[in-house]
Amino acid sequence: MTLPRLKLISLILVLCAAMVCIAAPLSHDVRPGYGVTDVKWLSDYHQALKGTWGDTRVYILEGEEPGANVLLLSGTHTNEIAGIFTAMIFIEKIVVKKGKLIVVPWANNSAATWGTVSYDNPESKMTQPNYITFTSQSGPRSVVVGSRRTNPLHQETDPATYTHVSGVQFPGYESRNLDRVHPGRADGNLTEQISYALFELVRKEKIDMVVDLHEAGTSSRLANMLVCNPKNLEMGAMAVLDLEFEDIQMKLEHSSEEFRGLSHREFGDHTDALSFLIETPNPSQDQNVKQPYTLDHPKFPLWKRVYTHLRTFIVLCNYLDDFVGRGIVFENIPESDAFESSAKFFMIYN
């Protein structure tokens, strides 16, 4: 082997080691508003995450008056962008008057570090992540569009079969899917540790309700669905009926007994929190679609999907008083007329 080739190989090895060992978590262009009272790291709830690609920012919006504690998750799958844009509205615009809202906009921050041109077999065609660029009130901005699963470079090689803590088995690549590994393991792989940290957050912050924001293909059975842990199905039914009066049609479903690892199932089963998952229809998740994200679409524009997430979450929050005896009160919720076009929609953000 020639000396230059040896140097090159050494350099690549050093870079790879650096990516894995001395990672700084991916940072995002989030511009917190007056409602944010504290910013933490997910590793504050599970030290082992510190210095890994799985660490991520945790935004706290605490009201003056005590009330319900709510966790809003997005970016469990970082290509499902409507949830992330919804979470950003809470961080940038909304003020909590009563209760506490905790927002984790990129729940799987490692998944945000890579993109793909293949939705069906993403790891076969890894690329740099994509960025949505737009203009908000304070000028040009960008939001990353990542992937569904943890970056393969950030976690050991996938096993042939992934065995969930319940004993249920999945294909090996699902060991990097945050929404298949809940409730995680304290000493597990990176994705399991992210999950474990989120569960620690729920326990330590005494969270009353967890809502996880997702998207699905437009023809998927899941599109426009509110999935509920069985213990909070009735609250979900009330929300779905209320949303009809806002012209938002959501299907109601309860968690499967057999299909484990999903947030709505495991947060509800392993903690005291009520647990919901909201799905909106994302054209970029249809089969054979090549574009990584969809902003403007005649039926499924981003602003409409974000509005569905926003209103569904708010309506669920409205029922907390009835179901847990503590409420949460928001101020500065954007009005519906801000959700009429992309241009108007992006001006919501700071």
CB of 236 to another protein, least distance (A): 8
How far apart (Å, rounded) are the C-alpha atoms in residues 294 and 301? 7
Is 253 a residue that touches another protein (CB under 8 A)?
A: yes
Is 238 a residue that touches another protein (CB under 8 A)?
A: yes
Is 126 a residue that touches another protein (CB under 8 A)?
A: no
Span of 53-61, 104-112, 225-233, 267-275 interacting with another protein by CB under 8 A: 225-233
CB of 174 to another protein, least distance (A): 19
3-state secondary structure 85-128: HHHHHHHHCCEEEEEEEEEECCCCCHHHHCEECCCCCHHHHEEC
- The two most distant CA atoms of the chain are separated, in Å, by 73
How far apart (Å, rounded) are the C-alpha atoms in residues 87 and 75? 9
Is 252 a residue that touches another protein (CB under 8 A)?
A: yes
Regarding beta strands 209-216 and 65-73, do their DSSP bridges make them parallel or antiparallel, or are they unpaired?
parallel
Is 334 a residue that touches another protein (CB under 8 A)?
A: no
Is 274 a residue that touches another protein (CB under 8 A)?
A: no
Report residue 13 as tokens: 């090895």
Is 255 a residue that touches another protein (CB under 8 A)?
A: yes
Is 254 a residue that touches another protein (CB under 8 A)?
A: yes
Span of 235-243, 275-283, 307-315, 327-335 interacting with another protein by CB under 8 A: 235-243
Give the number of residues in contact with another protein, rule: CB under 8 A: 21
Span of 37-45, 49-57, 162-170, 245-253 interacting with another protein by CB under 8 A: 245-253
DSSP assigned state of 52:
S
| N-term to C-term CA, the chain | 55
* Interface residue with another protein, options 64, 257, 335, 337 (CB under 8 A): 257
Q: Does an H or E element contain 318, and which?
A: helix 302-318
Q: Give the gyration radius of the chain's Cα atoms.
A: 20
How far apart (Å, rounded) are the C-alpha atoms in residues 159 and 142? 35
CB of 226 to another protein, least distance (A): 9
Binding footprint of another protein on the chain (CB under 8 A): 221, 228, 230, 233-234, 236-238, 240-241, 244-245, 251-259
